[in-house]
Every structure is written in structure tokens, then in C-alpha cells.
Amino acid sequence: MSIEVRNIHKRFGNFTALNDISLNFESGQLVALLGPSGCGKTTLLRIIAGLEQADSGIVTLEGEDASISSVRERQVGFVFQHYALFKHMTVFDNVAFGMRMKPRAQRPSKQEIKDKVHELLNLVQLDWLADRYPSQLSGGQRQRIALARALAVEPRVLLLDEPFGALDAKVRKELRRWLRKLHDELHITSIFVTHDQEEALEVADNVVLMDHGRVEQVGTPEEVYNHPATPFVYSFLGSVNLFHGRVEEEGLRVGADAVPHTQDNFTEGSEVFAFVRPHELQIVTDTGYTQGVAAKVVRVLSFGVSARVELDGLDRDKDQHFEVELTQAQVAGLALTPGQHVRLVPSRLKLFDRPGYVSADAVSNPASV
């Protein structure tokens, strides 16, 4: 089922949780709402579910205005961050709950409920736990039971609030893969909220990046990672080096240094932020070289597949730190020593206007996911 939210606003007291959110979620997709805590992603999810009411704006499910139907009628499956399993009921009773609550006329027979519960427990591979209580389950098992319970009412949409947030790293990775697989089997339109960029990029078909109650960018994982639309997206997805500079004829002026750049849609003299990923910086040890930003080596971390070099800017007022990612071979070739003066030359530089970034088109128009 497709979901559309249009011009959603939500305030809590003086705090603006959602500011004019418009999004389209296409049928059958798995979408991640990604952003730092407090960016409004959970609020948006709860508004779609009907657990929260927007101050203005509408939510349509399959073209129907959802605001006329109550939560109970929306047929959404919701998986809570802490699962909200009923502590006093067995796993079986938890999964059966939704079916048992139906009005008598629509309620399936006892046998039907039993079959359905076991079918779902098999789906989440936990049929053997049917008689246990939630307190006797591990975090990952609870998560899957919560999912089975949500699926029992045959939801048209599946909404998951930080589905892996309360799990430890290893289980989290396993469940991620499992959720993706499950989605490929069931094809229910699913939206999940996360603050973990790796999770969002790995699992979702599409990612909605949010910050301060606004949508920053919408796109496939590749699009948002490789072509960040805003400074926020750039810095939120992976580590990044930041320069403040001014666009000049010969390149970007950063303090006393000049850096070459290729983006020509900035007029000369405009003040900009420049972003460079750690692997997009080269270290030049040649002392005669004049291009790039001067820096001093602080530490070389050469373990793992790639090596990292931490550097400080030379401009003492600014207290700037840089991080460069190189291959082990490159680091060995450079033979850097702490304290050594080098120059950093970006192979790719992304510029954004400074100081105030004005929202791009993606924000005001309903963006397709």
C-alpha cells in the first residue's frame, strides 16, 4: 500500500518536531527514516501510525485520508522500540492478541487463530518459544515476536521504531539481514526509523534523511551517500573534513592556503563550506608544493584494511583537525612521522553556501521515495 504524507506540522510546546513534511512512500518498498535523535523521525512514524496527531497536514493511505480512521481501523503494524510485548502473556497469546480483539463477527475461530499464530511463529523461526513469557526471551527473540505480533493482524503497512536500537552489535547485524529477507518475501510497505546510518544504507530501498524536523534528502542509499544534497547529509553519512573558505579565481582560499576545486557554479567571492571525505584527501610531503592546506601529522593509525592519519591545521586560531584515509601501501610509502609538516590536497571537494543553507527543492515538493 502506498503512503503519502503532505505538509505535516507538529509542535510539542515550543519545540518544532516536524516542519512541513511531505513524502511519498511507494507500495512494497522498505524505507528508512534516518536522522539524529530529536530530528522528528519517530514522531513522523507515530503520526503515520495514528499514535500521534499532526497539528496540520494529512496522511493518506492508498489515496484515502487516514485522519478519519482511528488507529484501530488503520490496519498498520507497529513494532515498538522496546517491543511493548505484553509481559503477562505467553508468546502465543501475544501473537494471538490482535485476532482475539476483533469483534465477534470478524473474529477467526480458535483453530484458525492457532494455525495463524504458528504460521507466523514459523515465519520468524521461533515456533518453539510459543509457551514462553517475554521475560524469558533474548532481545533478538523479543524483536522477532514483536514483528510476528504486528503481522498477525495482516497490516497494510509495517512501521518499525528503531527496530534494532536495543540490541547488541552482533545480533543487530544478523537481524538486519533477516529483516531485509523477510521484507523481500512479504513485500509489505515498510518504514523503519533509525539513527544508525550504516543500518539505513544497508537495509533500505530508499532513505529519508531528516534533521530538525525537516527532510534533508531522499534517495537510494547510493544517491544519498555519493551525492549528499546538504551539508547535514554530508556530515551525517560518514566522517568528513570541513574547510571554511572563499571562492577565488585560482581556487578555494582557505586561510593562507589555496585549494583547487572543480565546482564552477559558485561566483567568485562567495563564502562556502567545503566538504571532503577522508579517502578523498591526498597527503603531499614535498615541502616545495604550494597547493592544498598546510597541516601537521599528529598520529598514524595503521591497522586494519586501510590506514588513518590524524592531522592538525597549522593555523593556531582555528584549532582544525583532519582525518585522511589511505591504503596501507600508501602510508608505508609516505613514511610519515608525528610533527611532520605536509599539505592536504583534495581529489574531490563539495562546496556549500555559507552561512545559512537554504532548503533545496527536495524539501518543499513531495519527494518520491
Partner 1 sequence: MAIALTPNALLGRRRGNSFRRSYSVLPGFNLSLGYTLGYLTLIVLIPIAAVFLKTSELSFAEFWKVVTAPRVLASYKLSFGASIIAAAINAVFGLMLAWVLVRYSFPGKRIVDALVDLPFALPTAVAGIALTALYARNGWIGQYVEGVLGIKIAFAPAGVLVALVFIGLPFVVRTVQPILEDLETELEEAAASLGARRWQTFRYVLLPILLPALLTGFALAFARAVGEYGSVIFIAGNIPLVSEITPLIIITKLEQYDYVGATAVALVMLLFSFVLLLVINALQAWSSRSIGGSR
Partner 2 sequence: MSHYSHKTTRFERNLATREAPWVKWTLLTLSLSFFVLFLILPLVSVFFEALRKGWEVYLLSITEETALAAIKLTVLIAIISVPLNLVFGVAAAWLIAKHDFRGKQLLTTFIDLPFSVSPVIVGLMYMLVFGANGWFGSWLVEHDLKVIFAVPGIVLATIFVTFPFVARELIPLMQAQGRDEEEAAVVLGANGWQTLWYVTLPNVKWGLLYGVILSNARAMGEFGAVSVVSGKIRGQTNTMPLHVEILYNEYNFAAAFAVASLLALLALVTLVIKTRVEHRASSHFNASHMVPADINTLSPRVVP
Binding site for partner 2 (CB under 8 A): 49-51, 71-72, 76-78, 80, 82, 84-89, 97-98, 101-102, 133-135, 142, 149-150, 152-153
CB of 156 to partner 2, least distance (A): 13
Three cell numbers at 38?
A: 530529536
Q: Whose Cβ is closer to partner 2: residue 129's or residue 152's? A: 152
Q: Does residue number 53 form part of the binding site for partner 1 (CB under 8 A)?
A: yes
Taking CB atoms within 8 Å and a gap of at least 24, the contacts of 94-101 are: 94/134, 94/145, 94/149, 95/120, 95/121, 95/145, 95/148, 95/149, 95/152, 96/152, 97/149, 97/152, 98/149, 98/152, 98/153, 99/152, 99/153
- Partner whose footprint covers residue 175, from partner 2, partner 1, none (CB < 5 to 8 Å by kind): none
- Give the whole-angstrom CA distance, residue 104 versus residue 11: 39
Report whether 181 contacts 175 (CB < 8 A).
no
- Give the whole-angstrom CA distance, residue 337 versus residue 322: 16
**Binding residue for partner 1, selected from 20, 26, 52, 205, defined by CB under 8 A:** 52
Q: Whose Cβ is closer to partner 1: residue 67's or residue 263's? A: 67
Q: Does residue number 223 form part of the binding site for partner 1 (CB under 8 A)?
A: no
- Partner whose footprint covers residue 17, from partner 1, partner 2, none (CB < 5 to 8 Å by kind): none
Q: Whose Cβ is closer to partner 2: residue 78's or residue 236's? A: 78
DSSP labels for 126-153? -GGGTT--GGGS-HHHHHHHHHHHHHTT
CB of 204 to partner 2, least distance (A): 22
User: Stretches 49-57, 168-176, 202-210, 234-242: which one binds partner 1 (CB under 8 A)?
Assistant: 49-57
Q: β-strand 306-313 against 293-301: which pairing, if any? A: antiparallel
Task: Report the b/e string of 65-92 with b at 16+ CB within 10 A.
Answer: ebeeeeeeebebbbbeeebebeeeebbb
Q: How many residues interact with partner 1 (rule CB under 8 A)?
A: 6
Q: Whose Cβ is closer to partner 2: residue 133's or residue 266's? A: 133
User: Stretches 50-58, 79-87, 203-211, 235-243: which one binds partner 1 (CB under 8 A)?
Assistant: 50-58
CB of 107 to partner 2, least distance (A): 10
Q: CA dist 54 to 5, 232, 234, Å?
A: 10, 25, 29
- Partner whose footprint covers residue 52, from partner 1, partner 2, none (CB < 5 to 8 Å by kind): partner 1
Site string for partner 1, 66-105 (x = CB under 8 A): ----xx----------------------------------
- Partner whose footprint covers residue 53, from partner 1, partner 2, none (CB < 5 to 8 Å by kind): partner 1
Query: What is the C-alpha R_g of the chain?
Result: 25
**Binding residue for partner 1, selected from 7, 20, 51, 220, defined by CB under 8 A:** 51
Three cell numbers at 105?
A: 463477527
Max Cα distance, the chain (Å)? 85
Q: Whose Cβ is closer to partner 2: residue 99's or residue 342's? A: 99
- Give the whole-angstrom CA distance, residue 89 versus residue 91: 7
Q: Which residues make up the interface to partner 1 (CB under 8 A)?
A: 50-53, 70-71
